[in-house]
Amino acid sequence: MRANYAIDLRSLKYLTKSGRLVRLIPEDSTGANPERSALSTFFNHRLDPSPQEAKHEWLAIVEGHSPLWSDITSAKRELIRSFLNTINLEIVKRARPTSVFNFQSASVGNLFLTGARIFTGSLEAAIYLLSSITGVRDNVEVIPAINSNFSYHISAGLRDGTIIVGQNNISHPIAPTFVPTQPVSPATFHKRQSIDLLYHDRIEDANLPGSLPTLRKQNILFQKSHTEELSSAIERIWYINPYGQEIRPTPNTKVLSALQDASCVIYSIGSLYTSILPCLILRDVGPAIADPKIKFKVLILNGCLDRETPGYTAKDFIEAIVHGCTGNGKEEHDHEHEHSEKVKEQDWKKYITHVVYLEGPGTPVVDKAELKRLGIEAVRVYGRRSESGREGQGVILKNPIIDAVKSEDVGNANGNGVREDIVRAIDKDDSSGMRYDGAGLGQALNAILGGKPEKSRRYTFIG
């Protein structure tokens, strides 16, 4: 996990995850503006899974003759290509006989944002560029949870004492993350480890000397379904530096400013421990959310359970979020928090006032009476089965989000209900199991927030 989406893509550590932003690109269902749909398709596109085919595809994009450029005007094409050429030049400069950039399954949106960040020297400027080019609404602002050009990683501590390093290893590993059942001799283990580390050490500029071995590995491939179960439930999540030491980063100051101005916070759909909590455990975010000036704090429960949350109920989700906001769930030897008291259940409503949920196969169980006792209102929304048809396969996202919304910003263009583009962006995230119906979700949020006309800004925080 690299906060604010500065992620390690192959041997570069500059890429910014674009998934949350491209979901906000307005779509044209009438066909009157084909460029709008073409831009959405372009920035959502991933290169071929084959490294060789991916490189050929990338060169076609950079050179301007890829079919993806169809319906994109020449002016915007050349503007976009200029930033793609910036990252391409950086890749060529860093190429070595022992280290060649792997374009396998790379996101075009990520590559653009990386080129824009390198060119401008600012992650926020890169996000602004993509928003402007694609026509994201002026009153929607995407804010990096951490405003940094450096990589951030997370670790998970399980109740049985196991520690897992890295977002992919926590949520959807491609390889086993635990010790194999078959015994391995110490000599064989150290030989394998030495060969692996030697390979990654040969990649110049990819890793800091002496950094944690697990963080040196590429995370090109990951598996969203049929992953092995965790050996125990996750107890807590924390940030680490490249050497594996625990740190507690400070958030982007704009995040705290947005929370101070907001009267509603929406915890959107996403993996609990690798998407939502990394935003909440940043310094001062929890107290800002607990401010009574924020009247509505709405948790939209996932439509299914995943590797991170097997058997979780709505109460379990709420408890994890509250503990993330308050710094609880820390180990006993953590001196910084050794005197903090566990938040009483009666105070959970300071962090969550409403829970929006679905009922169906594989969805988290919601005990409305128990939530009512906690002072939290449960709102059921009707949904549909996911097109994938898989039950219990998790919503595996890399897009941590808290949506901070001013009370005025809950109307659409006609002043009736939550804006359709906001609902669509949220609805797209529930990729398997039960899916929210966009209209039903909009009506539920509108009922909670009051349905006032759109007047102000809507903030999306990405981690």
SS3 content of the chain, % helix, strand, coil (to 5): 40, 15, 45
Name the nearest CA neighbour of 277 among 237, 335, 317, 235.
Answer: 237
What was the pLDDT predicted at 214?
64
| pLDDT given for residue 195 in this prediction | 46
3-state secondary structure at position 9: strand
Structure-token match 């400069």, residue found: 93
The whole-number pLDDT of residue 401 equals 40
Interatomic CA distance for residues 345 and 182, integer angstroms: 44
Query: pLDDT 10s digit of each residue in the chain, 463 long?
Result: 233 322 222 222 223 344 567 777 887 777 788 999 999 999 999 999 999 999 999 999 999 999 999 999 999 999 999 999 999 999 999 888 877 888 998 999 989 999 999 999 988 899 999 999 998 887 777 888 888 777 788 999 999 999 999 888 888 776 544 434 445 455 554 454 454 555 455 555 555 555 565 665 655 555 555 568 889 999 999 999 888 889 999 999 999 999 998 889 999 888 999 989 999 999 999 999 999 999 999 999 999 999 999 999 999 999 999 999 998 544 444 444 444 467 899 999 999 999 999 998 889 999 999 999 999 999 999 888 876 544 333 222 233 344 554 444 444 433 444 445 545 455 555 446 789 988 899 899 999 988 654 444 556 555 5
Residues 6+ positions from 170 with CB-CB distance below 8 Å: 1, 154, 156, 164, 234, 273, 274, 308
Can you give the pLDDT at residue 120? Answer: 93
Backbone angles phi, psi at 17, to 5 degrees: -65, 125
Cβ atoms < 10 Å from Cβ of 379? 18
pLDDT given at position 32: 82
Between CA 121 and CA 146, with CA 114 as vertex, the angle to 5 degrees is: 65
- The three-class DSSP label of residue 153 is strand
Beta strand 458-462 with 140-144 is parallel
pLDDT at 417: 46
Per-residue model confidence (pLDDT) at position 453: 44
Q: What is the pLDDT of residue 7?
A: 22
Phi/psi of residue 201, each to 5°? -70, -25
Residues 438 and 420: their CA atoms lie apart, in Å, by 8
Find the radius of gyration of the CA atoms of the chain. 22
Contact at 8 Å (CB) between 274 and 405?
no
Residue written as token pair 């653009």? 112
Closest CA to 11 of 106, 144, 148, 142: 106
Q: How many residues are given for the chain?
A: 463
CA distances in angstroms from 61 to 54, 177, 191, 270, listed in the order given? 11, 36, 42, 31
Report yes or no: 286 and 248 within 8 Å, Cβ to Cβ.
no
